[in-house]
Amino acid sequence: MTDATARHPRWSLALHGGAGSMTPDILGPEMQDAYRDALGTALDAGTAVLRRGGSALDAVEAAVMALEDDPLFNAGRGAVFTFEGKNELDAAIMDGATLSAGSATGLLRTKNPVRAARAVMEETLHVMLANDGANRFAEEQGIEQVDPAYFATAERRRQWEEFSQKKDAWFDTDLKYGTVGAVARDADGHVAAATSTGGLTGKRWGRVGDSPVIGAGTYADDRSCAISATGTGETFIELAAGHEIGARMRMLNETVEEAVAAVLTELGAKGGNGGVIYAGADGTTGFAFNTPGMYRARADADGMRETAIFAGE
């Protein structure tokens, strides 16, 4: 399923809070309202930056931080538990103007992992930092640290305890991909993307999904578009999905909608589930997913503002 706008506004922003098996009969009216309000709060944070002439990079960081702070989503506060019962956080950010990028994986105390990812991009010569090194770096940069208990919520602990009863389970297989992300195009014509996640319930051995992998779950290039993905991380990595979308636009002269649809078709053929949000270099924004729903929202300089959860909205 795809959803896009062909208009070319001065600035635009799209965000997501994960794709998965959510349907109206599973997600009641009160929870639907709660998610829409949370998406609206993140949309406000990002559009406030763009309205005052700020950069796409600042806008996606602001939007993702708002989603990380909300316990409804599997990123930051509200992250799922690993096999060992911990919260391990991953994030990435990319600037389409320079193709500079940063990511951090295995964060344990950083309140807003997307800030650590941006610091990697701006304060080091590296692109990705992991585990102990990433945690030390975030502390050294003065990025706000919290007690690990901050991330744990009663609902996520319940999910982990339920998972723990499945003796042969590798990880959560119930199609609940709670990654969050944002993409934007600013008034100067630059695009950016950011993604943050707690991964999969029950992940083990330091598993890393697509969210912090530049070119897979996060990618931005002024020559094409900005992408943030959510879903079966291993498949997005195998397809280098984010980069593939941009490459199809540049090499095959496909529109962003065509490129996204082609990659999502390939993802499905490999058994992958999930979706992407995109912001084209022309300001086009949209969503594409092959699951029953995706928490999503978008806004632009022409006055468009919408939030949605289920397919067909």
105, 179, 230, 307: the catalytic one is 179
Residues 6+ apart with CB under 8 A from 110: 89, 104, 116, 135, 138, 143, 144, 145, 146
Residue 42 near residue 63, CB atoms below 8 Å: yes
Q: How many CA atoms lie within 13 A of 10 on its CB side?
A: 11
Sign of dihedral through CA atoms 289, 115, 103, 121?
positive
179 catalytic? Reply is: yes
Q: Which amino acid is at 83?
A: F
Determine whether 260 is exposed, middle or buried from the number of CB atoms within 10 Å of its CB (0-12, 13-18, 19+).
Answer: buried
> Is 194 strand, coil or helix?
strand
Determine whether 288 is exposed, middle or buried from the number of CB atoms within 10 Å of its CB (0-12, 13-18, 19+).
Answer: buried
What is the set of active-site residues? 179
